[in-house]
Amino acid sequence: MTFTIIGRDPENGAIGVATATGSIAVGAQVPHCRFGVGAVATQGWTTNVLFARRGLPLLAKGQSASHVMRTLVAEDEGRDFRQLAVMDRAGATAGWTGTANSDFKGHLEGDNVIVAGNILAGPEVLEAMSAAYRTESAPDLAGRLLAALSAGQAAGGDSRGTRSAALLVDGGRGAALNLRIDYDENPVAALAALHERSKDAVYRDFLKRLPDEQDPGRY
């Protein structure tokens, strides 16, 4: 029911996830990332949010995406109903698509990018997302992720229709950009519009002023 992309900017290390689905509030469960650590996107017939709670600490220890993916899947008795995409701090990726998820389902792995989806219109959704991400000229990671999400939607997206979308990008200073459309008739377009509003200089300065691991005393 969901199509998702994880991307990383190799020049500045920014990492992010963009996702959309046919039900409400996809941003509450699917996207998880942390600058200098990696990202986990967890979805499927029954989404396992424990993948993120367990996976991010493993990535923080320096474990590879493939090792973390295998560990999480091996521990999960419901693995056949899950879909998982992992990226480590170096941009290596690994994915899992359980056989009990509904068609079309699948994932495409690459350096600094991975796409995954289930209950899709067809494989062209993932192919369009991957191609759009690699060719998009937007100067920021968020723009490239949103271009990929829009391409997936245009290629058919969730075969039931799309009702929620989310964008999470951690650039390593202050708070992550965390935008969500929890319900809309055209959530991917609404998310793109919200992203444009988020470019307001006052709001971006506010995010950068918030404390983080590198500067916990920032104000």
pLDDT in single tens digits along all 219 residues of the chain:
799 999 999 999 999 999 999 999 999 999 999 999 999 999 999 999 999 999 999 999 999 999 999 999 999 999 999 999 999 999 999 999 999 999 999 999 999 999 999 999 999 999 999 999 999 888 999 999 999 999 999 998 877 789 999 999 999 999 999 999 999 999 999 999 999 999 999 999 999 999 988 888 988
Per-residue pLDDT at 158: 74
**Spatial strand order in the sheet of 31-34:** 31-34, 38-44, 82-88, 93-97
Q: Which amino acid, 81?
A: F
Residue 80: which CATH number? Answer: 3.60.20.10
Q: What is the pLDDT of residue 212?
A: 86
- Assigned domain for 219 exists: no
- Pairing status of strand 164-170 against strand 177-181: antiparallel
> Is residue 58 situated within a structural domain?
yes
Total domains present in the chain: 1
pLDDT of residue 213: 84
Identify whether 216 is part of a domain: no
In a domain, 214, yes or no: no
Q: How high is the pLDDT of residue 137?
A: 85
The answer to whether residue 105 sits within a structural domain is: yes
29 in a structural domain = yes
Give the pLDDT score at 161: 85
Residue 217 forms part of a structural domain = no
Is position 75 within any domain?
Answer: yes
Of 11, 65, 3, residue with least CA distance to 33: 65
Structural domain harbouring 154? 2-209
Q: Which phi and psi angles does 114 have, rounded to 5°?
A: -145, 140
Predicted confidence at residue 132, as pLDDT, reads 97
